[in-house]
Structure 1
Amino acid sequence: MTSSFTCAIWLFWLFLICVIVHGQILDTTFDITENEPANIVLPNHQESLNDCHFRYYEFGKSSINKPAFGIPAYLREFAHMTAIGWSQPDKTTMWNCGGSLIWENFVLTAAHCTEDANNLPPDVVRLGDIDLFNDSDNQYAQQITIVEIIRHPEHRFSARYHDIALLRLERKVVFVIADPFLAHKPDKRISTGLHDTVAPACLWNNDEIRFNTLEATGWGDTGFAQSRTPTLLKVLLRPVDREECSEHYRNIRGLRAGLHDYQMCAGHALMDTCPGDSGGPLLVKLLHNTRVTPFIVAVTSFGSACGLSVPGVYVRVAPYIPWIQSVLKANGEDGTDWIFEPQACARKYVNLREYEPRVQLKNMGTQQQLDMTKAH
C-alpha cells in the first residue's frame, strides 16, 4: 500500500470522526422553559462542519503529534490556559503542568503540580502562547514569576484527594480592552501593545454538571509512551458515571477510600488527557449574548495509561469555590459570592471574550439578549 494512499485513508477517517463528533454536537438540544430568562448562558456546542477541513485535514498533513485525535487549539480560544514551568540551570524551562488563570494574578492547578520529581516547586508561568517552542507566536505571550504556592489544606502528596492548588503571581496579567463591536475584526481592535490572548476563565459553581461534552486542554504526552506536544491541544470528553469509573481505579495507590464525590471522571473512546496535562482545565464554553466564556468545571488530576479508553479523574471546582474565595480575600482581592455567579463572571471580561457572529440578537430596550428562537 503506497504512502499517499495510506495518508488518504487516514485523512478520510479523521474527517469521518469530525463529522461524527460534530454531528453529535449539532444534535444537542436545550430544554428551555417559559420561566427561564431569555439571556440564559448557553452551551456553545453547535459548531459548523466547515471547520472540519481546517482542524483535521490541514493538521493531519502536518508533522504535529497529537494525543488520540487531539485537536490543535487556536490563539485566543483558551485565553486562560497557563503553562507551569520549572527553570533549569541551563536557562531552559521544563513546562511539566498546566493551569487556568482564574483571577488576574492567580492560577488554578492541581496540588501535585506544585512539586516535581525532585520535590522542587515551579517558579514561572506562561500565558498567551500556543506553541511553547516556537517564537513565531510569542508576540502576546506573558511570562510571570510565581511568588506563592497555596495547596488545599487537606491535600497530601501520599494520596490523590483534594488535588487542587492556587499559584499567586508576582503581578497581574495585562490585557487589552477591545471595542465589543469590533471584536470580530482584529485589524480594528484597540491595542496597547498587548492582546486579548490572556484572560481569566470563570468557574462552574454548580454541583450539577449538565453538559454532554466537555473540553480538556494541555501540552501533555501525545499518547501512551509518546512524546509531549509543543502545541496546545484540546480533546473532547464526556462525563462518565463515577461508579462505572471506580471499576477502573480499584486498589490504586493513594485512593484508599475510592473516588470521592468531589472527583469526577470523563473520557472518550479516542481522546484522553495524558501526563503533562495535569492541572489543566476540564471546561465548557458557554454563550452569553454574542460572547463565548470558558467555565472551568474541573481540574485534571490523574488517570490510567493515556489513550487507552479509560476515563481520567478530575477534581470538580464547585466544592472548592469557598476555599478559593478565602484565599483571594486573604490576599486583598474581592472574592465575594456574586463575582462567582455565571452571569456576573461572564460580564466581567466580556470585551476580552471571543465573538460568536452566528448568534443572532434581538433588542430588549437598551440591552441585547439572546433570541432563543434564532440562537445556534
Structure 2
Amino acid sequence: MFKIAVFILMCAAAVAKIPIPGMITFPRDHSFDSNCTLPNGQKGVCRKLMDCGTAVAEKNERPKTCYFEGTEQFVCCREPRPSELACSEYYFPRDEVINGLATAPNEFPYMVALGWNTTKPNEYEYKCGGALISYDWVLTAAHCASVGGEEPAVVLAGGVKLTSTRFPPTPIANIIIHPKYEPHISYNDIALIKLTQVPHETEPACIGDHLPLISQNATAVGYGHTVFGGRPSDQLLKAYLQTIETLLCKSYFTDEDALPNGLLDTHLCAKDLQFNRDTCQGDSGGPLVVNRINFNRPASFVIGVTSFGLGCATEAPGIYTNVAKYLDWIEPILWPHFIRKN
C-alpha cells in the first residue's frame, strides 16, 4: 500500500512539476539571450538539445550548454547551412575504378556521365562523371567542362549503363566553372552544371561542411577504364577507398607541374590500401562518397570530386577536390532561398 502511495505521489509531482527529493532540477529563467557563440566563434541560437539537428549530428562534439529550463538542456545550436537544409528536404533514407566492383541497379541514383557530341546524331561519347547534388544541378570537375576545346552536351543520369536507352540523356543548359580555376593546374578543380530539366528516376546526393577524418572509408564511383590505357567501362563501377593524411600524400606529388604550390587543404587524398582499386581515366569529375547522418537520417554525402592521379592503381593515392572547402561558392548558386539575409 505504501509503494502505491509513493508511486501516485511521484506521478502527481511530475504532472505538477513539483521537484522530487533526490532529483536535480534547474529554475526556469527566460531572461537568457537566445543568441549565443559557438566554440569556433560562429554565431548560434539556444535551442533544446533534441531540437538542434546539428548538435545531434555532431554527436562526437560536446555541445555548448546555454542554460537549463527545469531538466531541459538548451545548447548553442549552429544554424544549418543551406546545403544541409536542402539535403533534409530532398533526401530520404536508402538501404545500405581500377579493379572496380560492379554496382547494383539504383545503388547510386545521383551518378551521372557527361556526354559529348559525336559525328552521329543522338550518339554521345562519355568522358567524365559527376553527381547530382540537387534535382537539376550536377557537381563535377572543372577540367571536365571542356575536353579538346568542346563542352559536354548532355548527361546520362541515374548510374545506368552507358548503353541504356530507357531514358534519353538530359541536355545541359549551363556550366559554371570555379572563378579561380586555371586549366592544367589542379587547384579549384570544381564546376557546376545546370540541366534543362530534372532527369528521370534520380535522387540527389548531399554535400556538407564536415571534413573527412583520416582513414575514413569512402567510395569512389565512375565509368573509367578498368586498366590504365584500356577501354572505359559501360557499367558503373565503385571502389572502396580510405582517405589518406595530407602530409603522407604530399610525398607522392613533389614534382607535379599540376601542383606548383603542392597539395592544399582544398584537396583530398584517397587510396585502396588492400586491393589496389583506384579511379582512372574517365572517372574524372565523379564523386567520392561517404555515408553520414543528416538531421537523424542516413544520407550519402559527396566529399570529393575526382581530379587527378599518377596513372591508375599505382602506389600514389588519387587526388580529389575537397567539396567542403567550396560550400561558400556552391550554396548561393544552388540554394539562394536558404541564405539568411543579415
CA contact (8 A) 1:145 1:170 kept: yes
Match of 1:151 in 2: 177
- Asked if residue 301 in structure 1 is aligned to residue 307 in structure 2, the reply is yes
> What amino acid sits opposite 1:316 in the alignment?
N
* Deviation readout 1:148-186 (Å, 9 max, x if unpaired): 110000001031100000001112335xxxxxxxxxxxx
Among 139, 149, 153, the residue aligned to 1:123: 153
* Deviation readout 1:241-293 (Å, 9 max, x if unpaired): 11111111111112110011110100014110001001010011235699642
- Asked if residue 273 in structure 1 is aligned to residue 279 in structure 2, the reply is yes
CA contact (8 A) 1:271 1:309 kept: no
5+ long unaligned stretches in structure 1? 1-30, 48-66, 175-194, 338-376
CA contact (8 A) 1:106 1:169 kept: yes
* Deviation readout 1:299-325 (Å, 9 max, x if unpaired): 110001102232000011111011001
Match of 2:197 in 1: 171
After TM superposition, the structure 1 = structure 2 runs for residues 128-143 of structure 1, keeping only pairs within 5 Å, are 128-135=158-165, 138=166, 141=167, 143=169
> What amino acid sits opposite 2:339 in the alignment?
T
Q: Distance in 1 between matches of 2:279 and 2:252?
A: 16
Among 225, 235, 238, the residue aligned to 2:239: 235
Larger proportion of helix: 1
Q: Distance in 1 between matches of 2:159 and 2:270?
A: 26
After TM superposition, the score normalised by the length of structure 2 is 0.67
SS at match of 2:262: coil
SS at match of 1:76: coil
Q: Distance in 1 between matches of 2:338 and 2:296?
A: 27
Change (3 A) 1:243 1:122: same
Percent sequence identity over aligned pairs: 33
Q: Distance in 2 between matches of 1:336 and 1:211?
A: 33
Match of 2:339 in 1: 336
5+ long unaligned stretches in structure 2? 1-58, 65-74, 76-87
CA contact (8 A) 2:110 2:159 kept: no
Match of 2:16 in 1: none
Among 143, 159, 170, the residue aligned to 1:112: 143
Structure with bigger gyration radius? 2
Compute the displacement of 1:326 (Å): 2.0
Match of 1:255 in 2: 259
Match of 1:346 in 2: none
Compute the displacement of 1:228 (Å): 0.9
Match of 2:203 in 1: 199
Q: Distance in 2 between matches of 1:34 and 1:320?
A: 26
> What amino acid sits opposite 1:93 in the alignment?
Y
Q: How many residues align?
A: 253
> What amino acid sits opposite 1:209 in the alignment?
L
Compute the displacement of 1:212 (Å): 2.1
Change (3 A) 1:113 1:290: same
> What amino acid sits opposite 1:82 in the alignment?
V
SS at match of 1:146: strand
Compute the displacement of 1:34 (Å): 9.1
After TM superposition, the score normalised by the length of structure 1 is 0.62
Among 260, 264, 269, the residue aligned to 2:268: 264
- Asked if residue 98 in structure 1 is aligned to residue 129 in structure 2, the reply is yes
Q: Distance in 2 between matches of 1:33 and 1:160?
A: 33
SS at match of 2:169: strand
Compute the displacement of 1:334 (Å): 2.9
Match of 1:221 in 2: 225
